[in-house]
A and B are shown apart, each in its own frame.
Chain A
C-alpha cells in the first residue's frame, strides 16, 4: 500500500481548473520531487495531501485513509504528516521551543517535559539548540526554516511535505536547509517536496513529477527525468532552470 496516493484528483477555483485528473503515488520511504512552472498547481497538489486544500473530484489516500471522506478526522490525520511552508510560518508570538511543543502537548497529549525533551533533541539535530529560547523574528530565514522542519518532525510524522521550502530564502541560506532535508531523505523519511532545487532532486529524489497547467505531465524515476524527459514542456522547463 502506498503511503500517499492520488486517484484522479481534480480541483476548481470557480470555473478555473487548477488540478486536472492528477494521479500518482508516493511509497513508504520514497522521496518525490514535484516541480513545474509557477501556477502549475504543484503547491495546491501537495496541500491536498493533508486537506489544507479541498478538492472536488477524485480521492487522496494517506496511509489507507481517504482525506476527503466525511468520516476522516482531519486533525488526527494532519498530525501524522509534517508540513514545511515557503514562508516558514513559525508562530511569531511563541519562542522556538514553544513552537515545537505546542502541537505535541495539545494534539499528541505529551507532557510539557516530554515535549521539551523531544524538541531540544530535534533542535540539536537541525543545529538550532542554541536558539531554543529565541523568537522567530530574531532568526534568519534559513534558521527559521530549520526550526520549522524540526517542528514538523516533533510530531513523529509518517511523511513530510515540503512546499517550496527554499524559495523565500537568500541564496546563502538555501544549503543549510537543503542539508537538513538531504539528511532526512537519507534516513528513509517519506517525502513529497515541491521545489526547484534540481541539485536536491538529483541527489536524493527517487522520482520527479513535472506539472504544468494543473496536469501531471511527467512522472518518472529521477534518472529517466533528468536523462530524457519525454514531454517537450518538461524539456523546456529543465533547460530553463538548469542553464542559469
Chain B
C-alpha cells in the first residue's frame, strides 16, 4: 500500500529538516534556562511574606496561565516593536526580530508554569530544614541557595523535565511568526513536494521517539532520586 508514497523525499530534505530541529532544540533549551531562572525568582517572590513581592508574582502567574501560548507569541511579536518605537521615540526603530520575540515569549510564558512547579518544590522541603539552616546562622540568601533550592530542585526535577518536554513540543507554534522549526521545515517540504503524508508521518515519528525517550529517562531518574529520608 505504500507504493504510491515516496519516502526518498525525506532523505533528500534531511539537511533542511535538521536545521529545523536544531532551531527547535535551541529554542527549547534557551527558553528552558530562562524560564527556570525567572520561574525561581517568581516562586521566591510568591512565597515571600511581603505582599509587595508576592502579589505581583501571583498576579503575573495567574494572568499568563489563563492565556493561550499562541497569543503570547503573537503579542510579543507585535507589541515589542511598538514598545521599542514608543520608548526610544524613533518611529523607524526596528524590532528585535521574530526569533528574540519568540524566545522572550516562551521564556515569560514557561516561567509562569515553572514558577508553580518550583514553588511546590520549595514547599516540599520540610520546615525543619529551613529552621536548621537559620539556626546555624545562615542568612536568607544562603539558606535558600545552599539548603532549600538544592533539595527543592532534586524533588521537582522529574516534573520540571516533563514540562520541558511539553515545551519542546510547543515550540512548533513559532510558525505563526514565520520562524521555521522542525515542524515548520517538515511542513514546508510537504507542501513544496506535495508529500504531506510522508512528511507528517516522519515528523510525528521523530517527535514521538524524542519525547518518548526523554520521558523514559525522566521516569528512570525519578526512581533513582526518590529521597532516602
Chain A residues proximal to chain B, CB less than 8 Å: 47, 50, 52, 74-76, 78-83, 85-87, 89-93, 102-103, 106-108, 135-138, 151-152, 155
Contact = CB atoms under 8 A, between A and B. Distances in A.
Interface of B: 126, 128-129, 131-139, 142, 146-147, 150-151, 154, 227-229
B154 A93 contact: yes
Contact of A76 (B126, B128, B133, B137): B137
B227 A92 contact: yes
Nearest to B128: A89
A135 B129 contact: no
A108 B138 CA distance: 10
Contacts of B147: 91
B136 A107 contact: yes
A131 B136 CA distance: 22
Nearest to A144: B229
26 contacts: A52-B131, A52-B135, A74-B134, A78-B136, A78-B137, A80-B137, A81-B135, A83-B131, A85-B132, A85-B135, A89-B126, A89-B129, A89-B131, A89-B132, A90-B132, A91-B129, A91-B133, A91-B147, A92-B227, A92-B229, A93-B150, A102-B136, A106-B138, A107-B142, A136-B229, A137-B228
Contacts of B137: 75-76, 78-80, 103, 107-108, 155
B224 to A, nearest CB: 13
A128 B229 CA distance: 19
A147 to B, nearest CB: 12
Of B135, B138, B146, B154, chain A has the most CB atoms within 10 Å of the CB of: B135
Contact of B228 (A47, A74, A91, A138): A138
A6 B124 CA distance: 34
A155 B135 CA distance: 11
Contacts of B228: 92, 135-138
Contacts of B154: 93
Contacts of B129: 89, 91
Contacts of A76: 137
Nearest to B129: A89
A143 B138 CA distance: 24
A135 B150 CA distance: 15
Contact of A78 (B135, B146, B150, B229): B135
Given A137-B227, A152-B136, 20 more contacts: A52-B131, A75-B134, A75-B138, A76-B137, A81-B135, A85-B128, A85-B131, A85-B132, A86-B128, A89-B132, A91-B133, A91-B147, A92-B227, A92-B228, A93-B154, A103-B136, A103-B137, A106-B146, A136-B229, A151-B136
Nearest to A148: B132
Contact of B146 (A80, A102, A138, A152): A102
Nearest to B153: A93
A151 to B, nearest CB: 7
